[in-house]
Amino acid sequence: MRLMACSGMIGYGFSEVGFRRGLEMGVRMIGCDAGSMDPGPYYLGTATPFVSETATRRDLGLMLRGAREFDVPMIIGSAGGGGSDEQLAWTASLVEDLARHYGLSFKMAIIKAEPDRAYLNRHVTAGRTAPLGPIEELTTDTVDRAARIVAMMGVEPLQNALNGGADVIIAGRCSDAAIYAALPLMHGHDAALAWHLGKIIECGAQVIEPRAGQDCIIGTLSEDGFEVEPGHPDKICTKTRVAAHTLYENPSPHELKEPSGVLDSSLCTFTQVDPRTVHVTGSRFKSTEAYTVKLEGVRRAGFRSIFIAGVRDPVLTAGFADFAAACKARTRDQARSLKIDDDAYTVAFRTYGAGAVMGDREFAALKPAPTELCIIGEVIADDEATSRAVLAKARYALLHTDFDGRLCISGNLAFPFSPSDISVGEVFDFSIWHTLELDDPLEPFPITYQEITS
């Protein structure tokens, strides 16, 4: 069975040459992931996409036309970025609009992944949730206070939609690998191979050379293993890249946890069949007694405002940490004069060029004296007005506070933009990063069908 991942993310693009070649090779389905938590909690909190509508339309349009021309199912997982109900509806509306534009007719399944709060609280109370990592147990209060919560579905809802005759599936939050494991598992392919193949191809061109953006990747399952190759004829897959991708976004070098079990790649062999194709064998899958899905939830944490500025004075760059601490104290005093309580906001000065990325974890040998610093001043408060008011005081403090050895009198900062102060928007934190044990893999993932006619 041959499958094609069109890209690592809807909206990141893929070549029409690679896409067409994959279709002509006889793939049985095409798919694409459309979401991730990598960009942080904001996009789930606001239910907004992190790729443009223009780019999303381009990719969806090509996929829809290709899928219908070759009569193969098309699966989109984690629609809209976070897989919430609103992001799901946004993606489905684009698909409907594209179908009308291109004169396409098909049956579409929409699979929601935003569980009802009362349903979740019953499971929390029954002790059927567990933290993923060193975090607190999930409580009903945390559930109630969350701005938005999604559950990450496995293959079963996708399979149910395929059995229901869906030509196009738009799914909420979904395991990346499940997009590609669903159809092979329906047809009796080995679970280890199906899940491992899904893991390898779900990020598209991550396993391709030369790596210049995204592109299509093709996986072919056989009885003893699977092969991976690029769609584009001028690109190659190497065994090093394929093996390395088994480790990608995974805390274990050998085990990948999915809802129904654990993929074990410790005995895998990666063989370079030809310059552009890699053959993988030795994958194992251990089913678990409990069926669990991941819960991801965010809570609102306030409103963020920032300014960006440069520092070039060698005296100030050398002692900026102490200077910033003094300016924070001055900002606090000035905010108090505005009747703003200390606990109503937070202030941070991120110093790029002097530890903003690695902080205290930076190697001492890699800390040369910078010739200039980029300062991002940040204030988070409960509302925009407070955030901007405190930011203005923080900006002024950095700009005009004296320091030992100061020669200038006009200001300490160089601002690249006017206005200098930027309202970034609402801030969200991850508040739920837990597993949910299910009796039925379909339980929190309702499916609706639409007949799309041109």
200's tokens: 């390898």
> Does 226 score more than 70 pLDDT?
yes
Angle (nearest 5°) at CA 179 between 175 and 184: 125
Q: Which of 23-32, 113-122, 221-230, 365-374 has the lowest mean pLDDT?
A: 365-374
Cβ atoms of 216 and 7 closer than 8 Å: yes
pLDDT digits (tens, 9 = 90+) for 417-443: 999 999 999 999 999 999 999 999 999
pLDDT of residue 367: 64
Burial 136-148 (b: 16+ CB within 10 A, else e): eebeeebbeebbb
pLDDT digits (tens, 9 = 90+) for 367-414: 667 889 999 999 999 999 999 999 999 999 999 999 999 988 889 999
Beta strand ranges found along 254-372 (DSSP E): 255-258, 261-264, 269-274, 277-281, 284-287, 291-311, 345-352
Listed residue (155, 144, 142, 173) closest to 35, CA to CA: 173
pLDDT of residue 385: 98
pLDDT of residue 366: 58
| Confidence class for position 206, pLDDT limits 50, 70, 90 | confident
Listed in sequence order, the DSSP H helices in 264-319 are 314-318
pLDDT of residue 364: 66
- Does residue 263 sit in helix, strand or coil? strand
Entry pTM: 0.94
pLDDT of residue 246: 80
Region 260-268: mean pLDDT is 95
pLDDT of residue 365: 63
Average pLDDT, rounded, for the chain:
95
pLDDT digits (tens, 9 = 90+) for 93-141: 999 999 999 999 999 999 999 999 999 999 999 999 999 989 999 999 9
**Cα 426 from Cα 367, distance rounded (Å):** 34
65's tokens: 């036309």
pLDDT of residue 190: 97
Reduced DSSP (H G I as helix, E B as strand, rest coil) percent helix, strand, coil of the chain, to 5: 35, 30, 35
